[in-house]
Amino acid sequence: MSVARVLAVANHKGGCGKTTLAVHLASWLSRKGKTLLVDLDPQGHAGLCLGVRGEGARGEPGGTAKELRRFLEGGRDPRLRSLGDLDLLASDEELDGLEREEAGGDALLRDYLSMCLRGYAFIVVDSPPAAGRLGRMALVAADVLVVPVRTDFLSLAGVARMMASFYKVSATANPVLRLGGVAPTMADLRTRGAREAVEELRRNFGEEMMLPPLRLDVKFSQAAAAGRPIMAFAPRSRGAQDVDDLCRILWRRIRP
């Protein structure tokens, strides 16, 4: 395994704030040590949230699928994008194809991180919103799983599929994988439905696995459009405070 602490941010349901959480978790952790954000989602939104536009948003330089294929061919010199304190391995147009291939098995990402990227303290993987090969690769590579859950009924019903994948991988391919926490996202706690959803998560996962909610805040979308984390774009916003609260608690659980 890599000497880095590898965190997978994953949920098999789209639209749950997964990329927002992954980007901000990686940005926050970069203050604690050298950090890499790996975009394993073919949509490539992690790069966009960090200001990587146009061709760069699809994997220039490098690109996740291109890097993994180079690794299979013997390449050991990673080609990453530096964004100040944070490095990015961006999504690329070949990720959809990699989903349908078997070369390297589900341990491909783990082997790549272990052999090529030893200098990082933290690696955050933005997982795809599907239970396919790419999703399994993220879980096999990770030490810690963080599950974002939107506070609505359908999202609560869908989280069971994510946990089934977690238990299967941890029982077979990756026994060191553990749950770092469940993060309620896009939470409008003024509404009864959102409050009930948070309580349902607390009943199912226990207080010790709950992370502070990321409340609804238009500053998240504005920060993404500006290509900056919310802590830099609007440091006094409630969204920035929520990110800090969540990351501080998760940090206490995962710090070396």
Residues in CB range of 190: below 8 A, 6 or more apart: none
Does residue 61 have a pLDDT over 80? no
Q: Percentage of the chain with pLDDT > 70?
A: 95
The rounded distance, in Å, linking the Cα atoms of 50 and 205 is 32
Q: How much is the mean pLDDT over the chain?
A: 91
Residue spans of beta strands (DSSP E) within the chain: 5-9, 35-39, 81-83, 86-89, 122-126, 144-150, 178-185
Average pLDDT over residues 206-210: 94
Does residue 202 have a pLDDT over 50? yes
Query: Per residue in 15-35, pLDDT tens?
Result: 889 999 999 999 999 999 999
In this prediction the pTM is 0.94
Q: Are 190 and 161 contacting, i.e. CB atoms less than 8 angstroms apart? A: no
Q: Residue 13 has what pLDDT? A: 85
Does residue 150 have a pLDDT over 80? yes
Q: Can you tell me which residue has the tokens 């901000």?
A: 24
Q: Residue 60 has what pLDDT? A: 56
DSSP 8-state secondary structure symbol assigned to residue 168: H
On the question of a cis peptide bond just before residue 129, with omega within 30 degrees of 0, the verdict is no
Does residue 108 have a pLDDT over 70? yes
